[in-house]
Structures are given as C-alpha cells and as structure tokens.
C-alpha cells in the first residue's frame, strides 16, 4: 500500500515547502525598538533644546526691558541728588559756618538750614564737614546718633571732596549704622577747600523695586553687592577681593564691620550653555548658578524646586556715575519647566505615535501570519485531497480485484455445486447398483408370494371357495402395491430430487432402510432404542435423502462388521431427542476406524475398501446432505472396538401417521 497509517497526517514539510514563512525574527523587532528609542531620545533632546532656547530668548527680552527700567529709575534718582551737595555748598549759611565754625548762631542756622533741605529733598542726611574732617553741622543735629562732631577723615568721599573733586561713595554709616549713598562736594573759598558738604541717600527702597521672584542687586566697582533684593546676598562679592582691597575697605570702614565674603555665583558652563551664549544670549547676559550656603538656606530651602531655582539668567547694566553694576537675576526654573513640559508632551505624542505604529505593525504582522496560516492550510488541504484521491484510486483498484475474485469464487462455487450434484448423482447410481441385489431379492419374495397366492386362488375358485379366493386376491393386491412402492422408491432415489425439508418420521425412514438392507443383515443383530416411547418422532428433512444417509451409515457398519469377521455382529441405533433436535447414533462392533483415516473420512473418494467394493463417496454425500438439512454428522471410535456415527437433525412436529409394517395372509 503506498499510503497506509499516515493517511491523515497531512503536514508534510515537502508539501508546505513552497509556502514561505513570514519573517518574524526578533532581531527586526529589536532594531525597530532601538530605532524608536533613538528617535525618542533625539526628539526629547531637540524639543528640550528648542523650547529652552525660545523660552530663554523670551526671558532675556522681558528681563532686559525690566532691567532697563530698574536702571533708569536708579539713574534718575542718583541724577536728582547729584547737584544737591553743590547747591548746599553755595548757601551762605554753610559758607558762613565754614568760615566761623565755632559761632553757635551760625552753627544753629546751618543746622536748621540742613535739616530743612534734607526734609524737602527726602534724603537720609545732609551735613557739612570742616576741612579737618569733623562734621560741623548736620540735618540730624540734636538727635541721637547725630553726625555733628564725627570725624570723617577716613571716608573716601571726604578725602576725594577735600581733594577738590566730587566724592561718591556707598557705605554703612558709622554713626547710624544705616547704609547709604554719600555724595560729597568740596566747598572752596579762594581756591582752597574749606569744607565738604555731604548728602546721604538711602537707596534701600531700590532693593524692593524688582518682583520678589526676580532677584535684583547692585554692586560697586569692586564687585561688592551693596543692594540686593535677596538679603543673604547683600555685602557679598561677585569675585574674591584681593587682600589689599580688603585692607582698604577695613580702613575706610565702608561696610562697617560686615564680613564681605564671596557669593558662590558661578557661570553655567556646558556645551549647551556655550551654544546658547553664542546664539541666543546678548553680551551682558549669561547663565549662572548661585549656591546659597547659608545655614538658613540649607535648612529652609531643601525642596527640589528651590534647589533648581538657583539657576538664573543674569542680565547686567552699568548704572550711576560710580561704575556700579546692576544685575537682574531672572530664574531659569519657569523656562526649564516649560522646556520639560514641552519635552514630556513631545515624548507623549511620540509615544502615542509609536504605539499607533507598533499597533499598525502588529496588525500587519497578524495579517501576514493569517495569510501564511491560510496558505499552509490550503497546502495541507491540497495534499490531503491528493492523498485522498490516491487512496481512492487504490481502493477502487482493490475493489475491482475483490469483485473479480468474488466473481471467480462464485463461478468456482457453481462449478463445485455442479460437480457435487454430479457426484451425488453418481453416488446414487452406485448405491442403486449396490442395492440392485437386495431389491431383486425384495421383489423376488413378493413375486413368489404372488405366484403362491394366484395358484391358491385358482384352486380355491375351482373349489368354489369364493370368500377365501377373495381374501387371497386382496393379499395379491396388497403385495402388488408394496412392490409398486419399492419400485417407486427406486425411481425417486435414482432421480435428482430438489432438496426439500418436511417432517419425516424417523421410525418410518429407519424401517424402510432396514427393510432394504434386510437381505444383507444375515446374522447381524440390529437394535433400535428410544423410538418406542415416541413413535411419531420426526425430523425436518427429505425422506428419501435421509434414508439414503441411513442406508449408507448402516451399510458401512455391515461392511465393517463383515471385514472384522465378527461372529456376533451387532448394530445399535440409539435415538435421543430434546426440544429442538433429534440425535441418531449408529454404533457397530466392526473394525473401527484407523486414527490416520479419521480426519479424511468425509473426503470424497476416500475409501479403504477394495476396488469395486466402494467408491468412497457415501460419507461425503451423506455429510453434504445432512448439512443441507442444517444438521451435523460426526464420527468417533467406540472404546470396545467399532465405530459410532452420530447424526444430529432439527426436530419437526410429530406426524400423526406412523407407518406400520405390511400384513401378509397365506391360504389356510
Ligand atoms: P465406501 O463405503 O464406498 O468406501 P464411504 O464414504 O461410505 O465409502 O466410506 C468411506 C470409508 O469409511 C470406508 O472405506 C471405510 O474405510 C470407512 N468406514 C465407513 N463406515 C465405517 C464403519 N462403520 N466402520 C469402519 N470404517 C468405516
């Protein structure tokens, strides 16, 4: 068989070889994922950079506007007061005081005048210093902490003014301990400086000019921050002061004992800030970080937001006549936060796009997979169909062969049946020949009786004994009828009767057979057991054929007894019956059957008899007849010697007419 067990195992790699598996390699997915990640990083970086740059530019612009405004405010204030000391120095009261410093009236007049000027000008203090450095009169005369009598020789503004120039100075007051901007003007008389007029301004209001969120500071020409909206930054330097300068500040008591330490301000330096400085930031702008190291800042501002708020866009402006620098510090945090937000938004948008992309890819992959599966299925289906076709062709070929064999067997069977029929016929003829002698003898006896009866009848008629003659004639008629029956049986026996099954009375059949064999019985005793109780016991068979079987069995028994030269020949016929079957056992005390002959006994032409004695057909035909009736025929040796043939037949309902032997009457 070309296709056997694997008939349904359709997954043949060769069959599906043509179907290419879609490429689902994980390396492609990895490449895709890495590309997406790289894209994300690039997008985040660019978004952050662009939004930071734009935010920074906007911040710079808005801060510059404010810085200009602050600078203008400060400048205008300074300008407003610039002329005041000169104006004061021209006043006669002041000049009179300087000319007669010890005149109480002039001192009082000067004090009064200075106080009035100071009040109207909204300055901190206005005072007059003699050429020796001692303050002669002041707007705050008579008040606690009055400047009058204070020695100002060490103050640079006095020294400059004493030198004939205008002195400007920012310092903490040594008397009042209040910071202020000092403008000093020399008072000259006859080409000689006779004194100095000073106006002190309080500029602390400027510290509050800016918004709280945007530190503002002003530093002097040494870089010392003297005004700052952040209190912790005041009196700190933008860069470390050289020792000489420190000593000088000590001597001028400019910051009156305040520890002037550097502010930890450092420019942000990175490739990004350098790039921003080139592209976005102006000349006076830079990005800085201020590390606030004060314990208060350390303990108070520890949140992340404050930590980040120490980064600023520093915008510088030069203000005032004294080379001051104003710095507006715009916190970078909002710009950074915007950049962060924009980056996050871009990342989210990118992630959404990526998800859509991945989803789209997966759907495409799934579609490809499904297509592949379908192609695989189609290939498998084609393969299955191919195999089914091949298998069907095989089966059809086998079927044709089987049909041929069946036809051949049917032919052989019919031939065999014909041969068997022929054999039956031949056997019947043989049996007829065998029986001829017995029949002749059987007919001779009634013929002799007929002659006797007819002779007797003639005598009786001659004697006029008509009644007796009539009786003899009746006997003659019976005899002729019996003879007719015998010949009729022979005719039937020789004929090829169709097998029929009808109730056959066992006793009748046996009697006929025994009557036929009577001439051969001789000294042999035949006993029939089991029939007296049920004379009408019947089997389903054909009468003649059953008789043929019994004739053969009893005939063989007689042959065996004769062969054994048995003096006390005996044939026992036992009849048993149950509800459905009737069993006839024919037992003899003849030769018995040789063990090697036993299996072959029912074969046609098997005989142990001499040529001419037997054809070896009797048992073969008998067993075939019995099978035709639906019965069985079997053989076994009898332990004491001899053989027993057992015939089992289907029982039929008992027949009411059990035949009896014919009566014969003779002349008295
Ligand atoms: P045939 O009588 O022509 O030989 P059968 O078929 O009737 O053919 O018998 C076949 C053989 O079976 C006989 O030759 C004989 O050897 C054996 N046989 C049949 N009946 C008996 C029997 N009662 N006892 C011993 N042998 C028997």
Q: Report d(CA 222, CA 232) in Å as an integer.
A: 18
Q: Return the CATH class of domain 489-652.
A: alpha beta
Ligand 1 lined by 557 (C-beta under 6 Å): yes
Q: Is the CB of 593 under 6 A from ligand 1?
A: yes
Q: Is 60 exceeded by the pLDDT of residue 478?
A: yes
Burial of 87 (0-12, 13-18, 19+ CB in 10 A): middle
pLDDT at 299 over 80: no
pLDDT tens track for 140-176:
998 888 999 999 998 889 999 999 999 988 888 887 8
Two structure tokens written together for 348? 């989210």
Helix (H) or strand (E) holding 231: none
- Residue-wise pLDDT for 12-67, tens only, equals 555 445 556 655 567 777 888 888 889 989 999 999 999 999 999 999 999 999 89
Pocket of ligand 1 contains residue 608 by CB under 6 Å: yes
Return the pLDDT at 207.
80
What is the rounded (10 degree) CA torsion for 555, 561, 567, 573?
-60
Query: Which atom belonging to ligand 1 lies closest to the Cα atom of 588?
Result: 23
Choice from 619, 635, 640 to test ligand 1 binding pocket (greatest atom count within 8 A of CB):
619
Strand partners, 635: 645
User: What's the pLDDT score for residue 9?
Assistant: 44
Between β-strands 538-541 and 643-652, what pairing exists: parallel, antiparallel or unpaired? antiparallel
**Each residue of 356-381: pLDDT tens digit?**
988 998 899 899 999 999 999 999 99
Assess whether the C-beta atom of 614 lies below 6 angstroms from ligand 1.
yes
Tell me how far the alpha carbon of residue 184 lies from the centroid of ligand 1, in angstroms. Answer: 173
Distance from C-alpha of 252 to C-alpha of 624, rounded to nearest angstrom: 158
Look up the CATH number of domain 83-202: 3.30.450.20
Q: How confident is the model at residue 659 (pLDDT cuts 50, 70, 90)?
A: very low
The finding on whether 643 has its CB within 6 A of some atom of ligand 1 is yes
Distance 603 CA to ligand 1 centre (A): 11
pTM of the model as a whole: 0.50
For residue 637 and ligand 1, the question of a CB distance below 6 A is answered with: no
Q: Which atom of ligand 1 is nearest to the CA of 430?
A: 3
> Cβ(588) to ligand 1 under 6 A?
yes
Query: Would you say residue 337 has pLDDT above 80?
Result: yes
| CA of residue 556 to ligand 1 center, whole Å | 5
The Cα–Cα gap between 638 and 564 comes to: 14
Q: State how far the Cα of 528 lies from the Cα of 512, in Å rounded to an integer.
A: 13
User: Rounded to the nearest 5 degrees, what angle is found at the Cα of 530, between the Cα atoms of 525 and 532?
Assistant: 90
Summarised one tens digit per residue, pLDDT across range 226-238 is: 888 888 888 889 8
Dist. CA 589 → ligand 1 center (Å): 14
Q: Which atom of ligand 1 is nearest to the CA of 645?
A: 23
Distance 474 CA to ligand 1 centre (A): 43
**Which H or E run includes 173?**
none
CATH fold for the domain made of 206-334: Beta-Lactamase (3.30.450)
Q: What pLDDT is recorded for position 211? A: 65
Query: Given this chain, do its domains 83-202 and 206-334 carry the same CATH topology?
Result: yes
Does residue 618 have its Cβ closer than 6 Å to ligand 1?
yes
Q: How far is CA 532 from CA 312, 491, 527, 574, in A?
A: 144, 31, 12, 11
The torsion angles phi and psi of 69, rounded to 5 degrees, stand at -65, -45
Among 426, 556, 571, which residue has the most ligand 1 atoms within 8 Å of its CB, making it the best to mutate?
Answer: 556
Q: What is the pLDDT of residue 662?
A: 32
Average pLDDT, the chain: 84
Question: Which atom of ligand 1 lies closest to the CA of 557?
Answer: 23
Residue 261 reports pLDDT greater than 90 = no
Q: Is 607 a pocket residue for ligand 1 (Cβ < 6 Å)?
A: yes
Domain boundaries, the chain: 83-202, 206-334, 489-652
Q: Give the residue, by CA position, lying nearest to ligand 1 atom 3.
A: 614
Q: Which atom of ligand 1 lies nearest, measured to the CA of 613?
A: 3
Q: Is the CB of 55 under 6 A from ligand 1?
A: no
């Amino acid at each position: 068989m070309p296709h056997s067990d694997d008939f349904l195992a359709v997954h043949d790699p060769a069959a599906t070889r043509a179907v290419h598996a879609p490429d689902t390699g994980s390396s492609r997915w990895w490449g895709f994922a890495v590309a997406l990640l790289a894209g994300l990083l690039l997008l985040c970086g660019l978004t952050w950079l662009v939004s930071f740059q734009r935010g920074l530019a906007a911040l710079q612009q808005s801060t510059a506007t404010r810085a200009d405004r602050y600078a203008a405010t400060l400048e205008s204030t300074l300008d407003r007061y610039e002329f005041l000391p000169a104006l004061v120095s021209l006043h006669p009261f002041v000049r009179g005081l300087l000319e007669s410093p010890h005149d109480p009236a002039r001192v009082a007049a000067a004090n009064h005048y200075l106080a009035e000027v100071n009040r109207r000008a909204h300055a901190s203090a206005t005072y007059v210093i003699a050429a020796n450095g001692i303050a002669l009169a002041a707007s705050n005369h008579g008040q606690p902490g009055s400047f009058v009598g204070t020695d100002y020789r060490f103050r640079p503004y006095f020294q400059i003014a004493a030198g004939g120039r205008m002195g400007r100075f920012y310092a903490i007051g040594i008397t009042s301990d209040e910071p202020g901007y000092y403008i000093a003007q020399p008072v000259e008389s006859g080409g000689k400086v006779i004194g100095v007029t000073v106006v002190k301004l309080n500029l602390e209001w400027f510290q509050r000019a800016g918004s709280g969120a945007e530190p503002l500071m002003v530093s002097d020409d040494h870089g010392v921050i003297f005004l700052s909206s952040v209190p912790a930054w005041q009196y700190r330097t933008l860069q470390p002061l050289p020792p000489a300068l420190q000593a000088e500040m000590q001597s001028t008591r400019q910051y009156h004992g305040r520890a002037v330490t550097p502010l930890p301000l450092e420019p942000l330096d990175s490739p990004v800030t350098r790039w921003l400085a080139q592209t976005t930031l102006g000349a006076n702008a830079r990005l800085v970080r201020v590390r606030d190291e004060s314990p208060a800042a350390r303990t108070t501002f520890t949140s992340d937001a404050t930590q980040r708020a120490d980064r600023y866009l520093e915008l510088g402006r030069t203000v005032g006549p004294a080379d001051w620098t104003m710095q507006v510090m715009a916190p970078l945090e909002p710009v950074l936060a915007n950049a962060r937000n924009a980056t996050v938004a871009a990342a989210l948008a990118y992630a959404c796009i990526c998800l859509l992309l991945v989803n789209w890819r997966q759907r495409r992959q799934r579609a490809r997979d499904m297509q592949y599966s379908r192609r695989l299925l189609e290939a498998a289906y084609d393969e299955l169909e191919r195999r089914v076709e091949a298998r069907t062709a095989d089966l059809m070929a086998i079927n044709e062969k089987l049909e041929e064999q069946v036809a051949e067997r049917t032919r052989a069977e019919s031939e065999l049946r014909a041969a068997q029929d022929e054999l039956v016929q031949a056997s019947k003829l043989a049996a007829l020949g065998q029986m001829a002698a017995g029949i002749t003898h059987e007919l001779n006896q009634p013929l002799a009786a007929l002659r006797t009866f007819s002779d007797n009848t003639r005598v009786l008629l001659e004697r006029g004994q008509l009644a007796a003659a009539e009786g003899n004639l009746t006997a003659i008629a019976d005899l002729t009828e019996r003879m007719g029956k015998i010949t009729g049986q022979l005719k039937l026996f020789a004929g090829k009767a169709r097998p029929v099954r009808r109730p056959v009375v066992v006793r009748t059949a046996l009697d006929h057979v025994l009557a036929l064999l009577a001439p051969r019985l001789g000294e042999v005793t035949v006993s029939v057991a089991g029939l007296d109780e049920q004379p009408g016991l019947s089997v389903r068979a054909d009468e003649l054929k059953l008789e043929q079987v019994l004739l053969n069995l009893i005939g063989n028994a007689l042959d065996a007894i004769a062969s054994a030269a048995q003096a006390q020949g005996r044939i026992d016929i036992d009849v048993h019956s149950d509800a459905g079957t009737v069993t006839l056992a024919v037992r003899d005390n003849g030769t018995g059957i040789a063990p090697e002959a036993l299996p072959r006994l029912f074969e046609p032409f098997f005989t142990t008899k001499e040529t001419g004695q037997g054809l070896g057909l009797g048992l073969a035909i008998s067993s075939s007849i019995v099978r035709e009736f639906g019965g069985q025929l079997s053989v076994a040796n009898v332990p004491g010697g001899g053989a027993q043939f057992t015939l089992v037949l289907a029982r039929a309902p008992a027949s009411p007419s059990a035949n009896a032997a014919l009566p014969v009457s003779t002349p008295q």
